[in-house]
Structure 1
Amino acid sequence: MSRRVSAIDIGSNAIRMMVADLSETAPFLHIDKKFRAPVRLGHDVFTSGSIGHDVMEVAKATFRRFAETNQKMQVQKCRAVATSACREAKNRQDFVKAIKEVSGIEIEIIDGTEEGRLIHLAVRKEVDLDGKKTMLIDIGGGSVEVTFSQGPKMIATKSFPMGTVRVLENLAKRKMNESHLNIIMGEFLAELGEHIYQNVDHDPVDFAIGTGGNLECLGQLKVQLLKRTPSTFITLAELTEIIDRLRALSIRDRIEKLGLRTDRADVIVPAAVLVQTIMRQAETEKIVIPAVGLRDGLIWSMF
């Protein structure tokens, strides 16, 4: 007996949906379809504090399509959650209400701890964590969640307001560019360093785990730029090499020569530098990329 469910992740850089079948017998979860709409809520929220009219209209149209998909694919239950950008938007309740009116879909605005818990749930189903101490890094558009696990048990999680879209807006506001990224990172190092130090001081991590679209993209870039496989993990040395190669290319070149999407080409270097910074702080040499994220965690939460 299986039932069809869908999960919607309303992030700061995009809105993503996944439709899956849940079954009481193995393999328990079968993914039917994934969708991604490049709706950058973070641009408005991190510059003006609210979701603007134009972005609101695009989001409404996206949710109309998602509601039609739910109907067409006979989805029995849909869970939609909003993260960093919505958490901070002054008009978040108007947004939630507008989406409900046009699509019938109810949005939950979740905090960073719940976000970390759901992503950890997805990772736990995909990566064997038994007997390992791990650090999970989820790079979003508005925030970064850093979660520590001892075996499959989550022991600490913290959300930092240093997501990729937020970093871009911060650079633009201060008339800086990518070459100034380390200045922005430096402003978060004390708080980030404290969280890492508290959790790895006497017990270092065996490896890091990276989630989010940018991490998956970095795995593919390892194959494309460095001609090394597999794409499912990156060493710190390889990450540094990828950053150097990307920095040598303009955003236009990243789109034309590497085939990156427009809304990936401008955030990929901030994402890579964030991961590099966190790995250096934790003194870990390897990051595993399981290609799961918040949507997968939402699906499992309905199991």
Structure 2
Amino acid sequence: MNRTGKNTEAVLIAGPTASGKSALALAVAEATGGVVINTDSMQVYRDLHVITARPTADEEVRVPHRLYGTCDAAVNCSAGMWVADVERVLAEVRAENRLPIFTGGSGLYFKALTRGLSAVPPIPSQVRDDVRARLERDGVEALHAELAVRDPVAGERLKPRDQARIARALEVIEATGRPLSDWHREALPPLLPEGGSIAVFLAPDRAELYARINSRFTAMLGNGALDEVAALAARNLDPLLPAMKAHGVPALIRHLADEITLEQAEEIGRADTRHYAKRQFTWFRHQLPEFDWVAPDQASAWLTRELSLSPNALELVSVSAGMRP
């Protein structure tokens, strides 16, 4: 069913948030008979649909979408868990002779696909809960000091206030008896061989992108984002869980607790998202230089050539596609 004009292992569509990745992936999937596979660490959470701009129900009907909303917010869905799911999905997609189209903004996920991932085994929930309890009781400075003794490499590399990564490094030591750096040396092989995929990074004009980010956050609020976050807050989950730190979620929770106004929460959410987009540009430039950088309004024509599709196979995808909630 793969309708491309060449033998391509996969299509990888990355880019900063609100750059139009999902719309482009949808167009490619419709033109090729492909399957869109989520490559975003926040869109895996079923509790976060609106606030993470997951594909709409209509879009998911038009072409197959996989690995969206598969994890509960109470679970720390690690990159390792995602890779294990991708391995299964890839086998299914290839058995159907469909083109896998990976799209999202999580650089680590794309790097795991193309470069491999460390072999850290799953951390037992009891170990994770114990470390998080000590973090809350003793403070991040105490745990960083402990980490500096037990894993000097991580202690030197991590900033003293980086709660999530310090907790993660200690969890690995507690659960395995080995520092994280040891596991990083025993990397798992990549799922996509080098040179077999087409990889594009959508690179919009910064000013235009930031304007779209602002507009989209406002649109999200009008489409139920506050109710979505209220339902999440009512669960009283660990604030260090990834889902609780999704862009816009902490600020909206503060608003729901009457700490700040909705307008203040909206501006904080917008600013956090803009800062994240800036980091995405930097990360992909340095970590995954093999991605071709293409302006969003030129991406359809670029992919048409790269996939050897007929000239009208892909409809022009406007940069405004990134504004949809």
Q: Output the TM-score relative to the length of structure 1.
A: 0.31
Q: Which has the higher contact order (CA 8 A, sep 6+)?
A: 2
The structure having more radius of gyration, on CA atoms, is: 2
What TM-score do you get using the length of structure 2 for normalisation? 0.30
